[in-house]
């Protein structure tokens, strides 16, 4: 059974849902969405909770005092307070009713544990690409491409039962599918992208999964419609 998220992880999920993260923090959080189902569920829960609060409210410019307040708190070394302050800055977008709703949500969070939590920051490679592949048959997969290594990690979250094997395709702007080989129907598969096809793994291209015979793979062309597909996005 997966361990429950810590308060800091839940706050990170809220910041991602609100669009407050930038740079390496946002990259790390998006990669955590792909790697940790509990964290991904927390992000979705925050979005479902917070998105309706913005309905029918006009956007307003936040006061200029926030940067000065954040800088002073950061200088005092109070990182947790700065994180909470950045979260609360979002309440300035809406009216007093929106702020009150956010306050009620924050009051439901447990108090901080009396321990020091150290979060390792891993520098992500430039222009990491991700994609979520889904289809009407219920297939769901997540993809993460490392251009430095030229490898794709495909995580099969849910796949239909079949005697055939999932085959991964990249479909660039010309609409012609190129096979990247077979992947597992469960767990994570590491796919080494051939050097001649790496230039096709770009923002806006499509990754797709079809069910194919094992014999003869990688195939020259798919023999059936995709059971899952999704657009590549750079982060």
Q: Is residue 40 part of a domain?
A: yes
Residue 107: its pLDDT value, please? 42
pLDDT for the residue 95: 40
Structure tokens at 185: 């129907």
What pLDDT tens digit does each residue of the chain (235 aa) get? 567 888 888 888 888 887 778 888 888 889 888 888 898 998 898 888 776 655 554 555 555 555 665 666 566 655 555 555 555 555 444 444 444 444 444 444 555 555 555 454 444 445 577 888 888 677 889 998 988 888 999 999 888 888 999 999 999 998 899 999 999 989 899 999 999 999 999 888 899 999 999 999 999 999 988 989 999 987 7
Considering the domain architecture, whether residues 145 and 54 belong to the same structural domain is answered as: no
179: its two tokens? 């096979």
pLDDT computed for residue 99 by the predictor: 45
Asked if residue 207 belongs to a domain, the reply is: yes
Residue 120 lies in a domain: no
The CATH number that applies at residue 193 is 2.60.40
Backbone angles phi, psi at 204, to 5 degrees: 95, -20
Question: For position 196, what pLDDT does the model report?
Answer: 93
Count CB atoms within 10 A of the CB of residue 135: 18
In a domain, 124, yes or no: no
165 and 90 within one domain? no
Is the residue at 114 inside a domain? no
Residues 7 and 111: their CA atoms lie apart, in Å, by 8
**Alpha-carbon torsion 98, 103, 109, 114, what sign?**
positive
- Is 11 part of any domain? yes
Q: For residue 212, what are the domain limits?
A: 129-234
Do 137 and 207 lie in one domain? The reply is yes
Give yes or no: residues 90 and 56 share one domain: yes
Cα–Cα distance list, 221 to 104, 161, 225 (Å): 55, 22, 11
Domain count, the chain: 2
148 and 226 co-located in one domain: yes
Residue 46 lies in a domain: yes
State whether 135 and 95 are in the same domain. Answer: no
Alpha carbons within 13 A on the beta-carbon side of 205: 21
- Asked if residue 119 belongs to a domain, the reply is no
pLDDT value for 233: 86
Residue 134, H or E segment: strand 129-134
Please tell me whether residues 19 and 68 are part of one structural domain. yes
């Amino acid at each position: 059974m997966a361990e429950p998220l810590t308060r800091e992880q839940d706050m990170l999920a809220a910041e991602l849902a609100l669009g407050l993260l930038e740079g390496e923090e946002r990259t790390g959080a998006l990669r955590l969405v792909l790697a940790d189902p509990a964290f991904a569920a927390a992000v979705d829960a925050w979005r479902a909770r917070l998105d309706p609060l913005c309905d029918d409210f006009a956007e307003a410019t936040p006061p200029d005092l926030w940067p000065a307040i954040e800088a002073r708190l950061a200088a005092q070394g109070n990182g947790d307070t700065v994180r909470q302050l950045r979260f609360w800055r979002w309440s300035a977008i809406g009216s007093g009713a929106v702020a009150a709703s956010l306050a009620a949500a924050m009051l439901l969070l447990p108090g901080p544990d009396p321990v020091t939590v150290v979060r390792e920051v891993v520098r992500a490679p430039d222009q990491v690409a991700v994609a979520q592949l889904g289809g009407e048959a219920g297939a769901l997969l997540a993809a993460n491409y490392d251009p430095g290594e030229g490898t794709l990690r495909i995580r099969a979250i849910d796949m239909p039962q079949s005697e055939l094997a999932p085959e991964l395709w990249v479909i660039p702007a010309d609409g012609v599918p190129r096979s990247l080989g077979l992947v597992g129907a469960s767990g994570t598969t590491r796919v080494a992208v051939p050097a001649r096809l790496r230039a096709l793994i770009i923002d806006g291209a499509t990754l797709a999964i079809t069910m194919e015979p094992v014999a003869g793979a990688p195939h020259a062309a798919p023999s059936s419609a995709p059971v899952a597909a999704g657009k590549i996005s750079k982060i």
